[in-house]
Amino acid sequence: MLNAIDKKVLKEVADLEGMPKGAYNIRKNGKLEGREVSANINIETNEKGDGIIIDIKPGTKDESVHIPVILSQAGLHDVVYNTFIIGEGSDVTIVAGCGIHCGGNASEGHSGIHEFQIKAGAKVKYVEKHIAIGEGSGKRILNPTTKVFMEENAQAQMELTQIGGVDEAKRVNEATIGAGSVLLITERVMTEKEQSAESRNEITLAGTDSKTNIVSRSVIKGSSSQDFYVNLTAKAKCYGHIECDAIIMDNGINQTIPALRALHPDAELTHEASIGKIANDQLMKLMSLGLDYDQAVNRIIQGFLR
Amino acid sequence: MLNAIDKKVLKEVADLEGMPKGAYNIRKNGKLEGREVSANINIETNEKGDGIIIDIKPGTKDESVHIPVILSQAGLHDVVYNTFIIGEGSDVTIVAGCGIHCGGNASEGHSGIHEFQIKAGAKVKYVEKHIAIGEGSGKRILNPTTKVFMEENAQAQMELTQIGGVDEAKRVNEATIGAGSVLLITERVMTEKEQSAESRNEITLAGTDSKTNIVSRSVIKGSSSQDFYVNLTAKAKCYGHIECDAIIMDNGINQTIPALRALHPDAELTHEASIGKIANDQLMKLMSLGLDYDQAVNRIIQGFLR
């Protein structure tokens, strides 16, 4: 049964007011809380029992799967291995995410290892939100890993967000992009206080005319720190772009380390990075419209992370 | 005595038709070929005898030092440690460079380790050109290292160029930039055939209001390869920009790996990189003006490296 806290967490990570429509799998404190399959989308526990397999039939259109995780048990460090098989020519949305509610002083953590097999011509939008709330003093740890294998002419859009409250995050994204396929990754991470987040991205443009655009947006408040790594390797005629923007507030620190490896003569790789405080003229403009300093800063941060 | 080949090399690396005006030190095949000092610029062999110390008096204005190196002895691998002391408030130009003429099948190499102590308020322009010529089949190896220590309110402009013919290069630039000081580095490297060049840059923005702009321009022809690394560390309120552009021709490969480390909340670091072939529309434009394909490519490359 979902209690009031669970419902709050579900709302935050998956924008759900109750049980979702269509296929879903809700995991709470390491156990299955509810599951629904559809005619085209099957969900079953994997052989080892340490995760689920989401199997989407070829040609499935305009369907969605929700697989949120709720963690509210002090001391629990949940690890889950999920596999998504996204059938040829399908067009689906997957909403994942993990919400931690910490009520005590023991740490809580979740590591979700998500593997995507995206078949030829398939199109998938993957939305993953991470948040931690609660009055407890225990550390909240979230370590998501996504491994993406794209066949030909597939499209994947990954929206990866860590909204706040997470004390430690080790984020890993790996992808191999086949011929004619396009991968868009947008990662937004906000840290504050003494929090730290690390994001490691290992992306290979493997097939002819493969494309990727990797966008990282970081807001680093308090004394928090964020490190962002991308290793973008081009092995074919391809196009890849990386864009890293970090706003440093208070005493935040940031390291941004992209590697562009053009191992094919027809590779085209570009990168832009910008690390710094909020531009003063932006602040002044908003304050001249009647916002006070904090409101103006908040408005800019919200816009930046949207 | 300088022979016809030496003179050709001197012309290429230091734009000299004969002996330079002002202070100079010419090194040929590991030995002193000629030296001249001025009232304000002293040059002497260091204690160990493995290099020279160029001592520029405080307040020296509009003077220059030429310290070219010529290498034409098969099998010789020359290593030299030079120290530049650039006195307070001076404003000078230093022209270095190494030319290899290879006539046989034994390899030839030069490693120049140059240390710059740039005192408060000094301004220096350092021009270093590397080239290798000759009909011999021996490998031509050039490994330049520059170590720059800048006090407060100093300015340094480093123009580092490897024009062509160099089979292997391991280039290293290290710099520590003091308060109010500005370091501009422009590195231009052209490789072809089976050549390889690696450039490692370790730059620290150490003082308040220190600034740096690091520009890398690479042209990678044939089956050559170039790797470019920058480690830009910001430890103060400062501004740093890195710009890496690589043109890949034929089967060239390139790896560009900048690290932006904002370790101070008032650091502002930005980066732009672009790796790829020459844009087709640029070529078309020049060809529509009457150039043939090769001429158009050459025109673009020359403009890019200028």
pLDDT, tens digit, 9 for 90 and up, residues A220-230: 999 999 999 99
At CB < 8 Å, which residues of chain B contact A?
Answer: 246, 248-277
The 10 Å CB-count burial string (b at 16+, else e) for B248-268 is bbeebbbbbbbbbbbebbbbb
Assigned domain for A76 exists: yes
pLDDT band at B30 (very low <50, low <70, confident <90, very high): very high
Lowest-confidence segment of A174-178, B76-80, B171-175 by average pLDDT: B76-80
Assigned domain for B121 exists: yes
Give the integer Cα–Cα distance in Å for A165 and A48.
Answer: 32
**Interstrand relation of B23-28 and B41-45 (parallel, antiparallel or unpaired):** unpaired
Look over chain B and give the mean of its residue pLDDT values, rounded to a whole number: 94
**Closest listed residue to residue B131, CA positions, set B171, B100, B168:** B100
Give the per-residue pLDDT at B306.
Answer: 82
**Which residues span the domain enclosing A259?**
4-277
Secondary structure element (H or E) that encloses residue B101, with its range = strand B91-101
CA of A290 to nearest chain B CA: how many angstroms apart?
26
Contact B70, B102 (CB under 8 A): no
pLDDT band at B103 (very low <50, low <70, confident <90, very high): confident
pLDDT at residue B145 greater than cutoff 90: yes
Give the per-residue pLDDT at A258.
Answer: 96
- Number of Cβ pairs closer than 8 Å across A and B? 110
What is the full DSSP assignment across A106-145? S-EEEEEEEEEEE-TT-EEEEEEEEEEE-S--S-EEE--E
- Chain B nearest-CA residue for A243: B272
Residue type, B2: L
- Chain A nearest-CA residue for B255: A261
Of B251, B267, B271, the CB nearest to A265: B251
Mean pLDDT of A126-144: 93
The DSSP 8-state label assigned to residue B181 in this structure reads -
Of B250, B262, B271, the CB nearest to A248: B262
- Chain B nearest-CA residue for A254: B262
Query: Going by C-beta distance under 8 Å and a sequence separation of 6 or more, which residues neighbour residue A34?
Result: A19, A24, A25, A26
Assigned domain for A65 exists: yes
Give the per-residue pLDDT at A58.
Answer: 98
Assigned domain for A291 exists: no
Give the per-residue pLDDT at B215.
Answer: 97
Mean pLDDT of B23-33: 94
Secondary structure element (H or E) that encloses residue B85, with its range = strand B77-86
The pair of three-digit structure tokens given for residue B248, joined into one six-digit string: 């890949």
CA of A238 to nearest chain B CA: how many angstroms apart?
10
The DSSP 8-state label assigned to residue A207 in this structure reads S
Determine the Cα angle at A180 with ends A174 and A183, to 5°: 35
CA of A24 to nearest chain B CA: how many angstroms apart?
41
CB atoms within 10 A of CB B67: 26
Assigned domain for B115 exists: yes
Give the per-residue pLDDT at B302.
Answer: 87
**Closest listed residue to residue B208, CA positions, set B267, B259, B255:** B267
Assigned domain for B292 exists: no
pLDDT at residue B25 greater than cutoff 80: yes
Look over chain A and give the mean of its residue pLDDT values, rounded to a whole number: 94
The pair of three-digit structure tokens given for residue A180, joined into one six-digit string: 């004619």
B267·A256 Cβ contact <8 A: no
Mean pLDDT of B110-137: 95
Contact A67, A93 (CB under 8 A): no
**Interstrand relation of A145-150 and B77-86 (parallel, antiparallel or unpaired):** unpaired
> Which of A261, A263, A280 to substitute to test the interface with B, most B CBs within 10 Å?
A261
- Chain A nearest-CA residue for B227: A261
**Interstrand relation of B41-45 and B52-56 (parallel, antiparallel or unpaired):** antiparallel
Ramachandran area for residue A180 (φ above 0: left; ψ -120 to 50: alpha; else beta): left
Give the per-residue pLDDT at B10.
Answer: 87
Contacts of B274 in chain A (CB under 8 A): 269-271
If you search the block for the tokens 């003179």, which residue do you land on?
B7
pLDDT at residue B1 greater than cutoff 80: no
Lowest-confidence segment of A103-107, A128-132, B215-219 by average pLDDT: A103-107
Give the integer Cα–Cα distance in Å for B68 and B133.
Answer: 15
Q: What is the ipTM of this complex?
A: 0.90
pLDDT tens digits for range A10-44? 888 888 887 888 999 999 999 999 999 999 999 99
Give the integer Cα–Cα distance in Å for B197 and B194.
Answer: 10
The Cβ-side half-sphere exposure at A104, using a 13 Å CA radius, reads: 9
pTM of the full structure: 0.93
The 10 Å CB-count burial string (b at 16+, else e) for A250-289 is eebbbbbbbbbbbebbbbbbbbbbbbbbbeeeebeebeee
A268·B251 Cβ contact <8 A: no
- Chain B nearest-CA residue for A271: B273
pLDDT at residue A199 greater than cutoff 90: yes
- Chain A nearest-CA residue for B279: A268
Give the integer Cα–Cα distance in Å for A67 and A57.
Answer: 17
Assigned domain for A288 exists: no
The DSSP 8-state label assigned to residue B220 in this structure reads E
Of B250, B258, B263, the CB nearest to A253: B263
* Domains of chain B: total: 1
pLDDT at residue B120 greater than cutoff 90: yes
pLDDT at residue B20 greater than cutoff 90: no
At CB < 8 Å, which residues of chain A contact B?
Answer: 246, 248-277
pLDDT tens digits for range B232-285? 999 999 999 999 999 999 999 999 999 999 999 999 999 999 999 988 888 888
A274·B270 Cβ contact <8 A: yes
pLDDT at residue A3 greater than cutoff 90: no
**Closest listed residue to residue B130, CA positions, set B160, B175, B158, B162:** B162
The 10 Å CB-count burial string (b at 16+, else e) for B167-192 is bbbbbbbbbbbbbbbbbbbebbbbbb
Of B252, B259, B267, the CB nearest to A265: B252
The Cβ-side half-sphere exposure at A258, using a 13 Å CA radius, reads: 29
- DSSP 3-state assignment of A222? coil
A265·B276 Cβ contact <8 A: no
| Helices (H), ranges, A148-239 | none
A276·B255 Cβ contact <8 A: no
Assigned domain for A45 exists: yes
Contact A161, A191 (CB under 8 A): no
Query: Going by C-beta distance under 8 Å and a sequence separation of 6 or more, which residues neighbour residue B75?
Result: B106, B107, B108
Give the integer Cα–Cα distance in Å for B96 and B99.
Answer: 10
Contacts of B265 in chain A (CB under 8 A): 248-253, 277
Mean pLDDT of A188-206: 97
Lowest-confidence segment of A8-22, A79-93, A130-144 by average pLDDT: A8-22
pLDDT tens digits for range B72-88? 998 999 999 999 999 99
Give the per-residue pLDDT at A168.
Answer: 97
pLDDT at residue A264 greater than cutoff 80: yes
Give the per-residue pLDDT at B202.
Answer: 98
pLDDT band at A280 (very low <50, low <70, confident <90, very high): confident
- Chain B nearest-CA residue for A230: B257
pLDDT at residue A151 greater than cutoff 90: yes
If you search the block for the tokens 């992209």, which residue do you land on?
A258
Mean pLDDT of B175-198: 97
**Closest listed residue to residue A194, CA positions, set A234, A246, A137, A257:** A137
Contacts of B267 in chain A (CB under 8 A): 248, 275-276
Mean pLDDT of B91-119: 94
CA of A128 to nearest chain B CA: how many angstroms apart?
27
